[in-house]
Structure 1
Amino acid sequence: MSTVTYTSAHPLLHRRRNHFSTHLFFPQTLNLTSKHKSRFPLVVRASLSDPFVLDIAEKLEDSLQLSSTNSSVASSSISLQRLRESSTQSILTKAWPSSKQEPFRFTDTSFLRRSQILPSTTLPSVNLSDFVTPPPISSNSIVIVDGHFAPTLSDISSLPNSVYAGVISDIPAGSVSDRVSSFLASESVGKDLFWDLNGVGAPDVVVIYVPEGVRIVDDPISLRFWACQGVEAGEETLPVSNPRVLVVVEKGAEVSIVEEHVGVGGNEERCYWENSVVEIVVGDSAKVSHSYVQRQSRNAAHIKWTFARQESFSTYELVEISTGGKLSRHNLHVEQMGPDTVTNLSAFHISQTNQTQDLHSKLTLDS
Structure 2
Amino acid sequence: MALATSLVASPPCLQWRRRPTANFLPLQRRRSLSIKAIADPFVLELAEKLEESVLQNPKSTKTLSTLREKCTQEALSSKWPSAKDEPFRFTDLKFLKEATIQVASQEETENLDSNSLDQSLDAKSQRVVLIDGVLNKSLSHTAGLPDGVFAGSLSSLPETFSLPPLENDCGDLFSSLNGIGTRDLGIIFVPEGLKVEQPLYIVYFSRQGSDLQSEIWVSNPRLVVVLGKGAELNIVEEFRGGEKRSYWTNSVLQVNLEEEAKLFHSFVQLQKPGAVHIKWTFVQQGTSSSYNLVETSTGGRLNRHNLQIQQLGPDTVTELSTFHLAGENQIQDLHSKIILDHPRGYSRQLHKCIVTHSSGHAVFDGNVKVNRYAQLTDAGQLSRSLLMAPRATVNVKPNLQIVANDVKCSHGAAISDLDEDQLFYFLARGVDAQTARNALVFSFGAEVMERIFDKDLRRRVENDVRELLAAEGAIR
The interval holding the TM-score normalised by the smaller chain is 0.7 to 0.9
Match of 1:344 in 2: 319
Q: Does the Cα contact within 8 Å between 1:256 and 1:289 map onto a contact in 2? A: yes
TM-score normalised per structure 2: 0.64
1:326 aligns with 2:317: no
Q: CA deviation at 1:49?
A: 2.9
**Counterparts of 1:246 and 1:285 in 2: how far apart (Å)?**
19
**Counterparts of 2:240 and 2:206 in 1: how far apart (Å)?**
6
Matching residue's letter, 1:39 = R
Which of 263, 266, 278 is 2:241 aligned to? Answer: 263
**Counterparts of 1:255 and 1:102 in 2: how far apart (Å)?**
36
Match of 2:45 in 1: 55
Count of paired positions: 320
- SS where residue 195 of structure 1 aligns? helix
Change (3 A) 1:189 1:172: closer
**Counterparts of 1:37 and 1:253 in 2: how far apart (Å)?**
45
Match of 1:195 in 2: 175
Matching residue's letter, 1:352 = G
**Counterparts of 1:149 and 1:55 in 2: how far apart (Å)?**
27
Q: Does the Cα contact within 8 Å between 1:230 and 1:238 map onto a contact in 2? A: yes
**Counterparts of 1:203 and 1:331 in 2: how far apart (Å)?**
22
**Counterparts of 1:97 and 1:237 in 2: how far apart (Å)?**
20
1:239 aligns with 2:214: no
Q: Does the Cα contact within 8 Å between 1:137 and 1:154 map onto a contact in 2? A: no
Q: CA deviation at 1:214?
A: 0.8
Match of 2:136 in 1: 150
Match of 2:193 in 1: 213
Which of 55, 64, 67 is 2:57 aligned to? Answer: 67
**Counterparts of 1:294 and 1:133 in 2: how far apart (Å)?**
14
1:357 aligns with 2:347: no
Q: CA deviation at 1:282?
A: 1.1
**Counterparts of 1:38 and 1:82 in 2: how far apart (Å)?**
17
Q: CA deviation at 1:41?
A: 5.1
Change (3 A) 1:338 1:362: same
Change (3 A) 1:271 1:50: same
**Counterparts of 1:52 and 1:220 in 2: how far apart (Å)?**
41
1:224 aligns with 2:208: no
Matching residue's letter, 2:286 = E
**Counterparts of 1:249 and 1:125 in 2: how far apart (Å)?**
29
Match of 2:438 in 1: none
Q: CA deviation at 1:89?
A: 1.3
**Counterparts of 1:129 and 1:220 in 2: how far apart (Å)?**
23
Match of 2:383 in 1: none
1:166 aligns with 2:152: yes
1:253 aligns with 2:237: no
**Counterparts of 1:311 and 1:133 in 2: how far apart (Å)?**
36
Which of 184, 193, 208 is 2:166 aligned to? Answer: 184
Change (3 A) 1:184 1:133: closer
1:30 aligns with 2:14: no
- SS where residue 283 of structure 2 aligns? strand
Q: Does the Cα contact within 8 Å between 1:282 and 1:309 map onto a contact in 2? A: yes
Q: Does the Cα contact within 8 Å between 2:103 and 2:218 map onto a contact in 1? A: yes
**Counterparts of 2:221 and 2:227 in 1: how far apart (Å)?**
20
1:280 aligns with 2:255: yes
1:305 aligns with 2:280: yes
TM-score normalised per structure 1: 0.82
Where in structure 1 are there 5+ consecutive unaligned residues? 1-28, 69-74
Change (3 A) 1:96 1:41: farther
Match of 1:100 in 2: 84
Match of 1:71 in 2: none
Q: CA deviation at 1:123?
A: 4.2
What's the RMSD between the two structures over aligned residues? 2.2
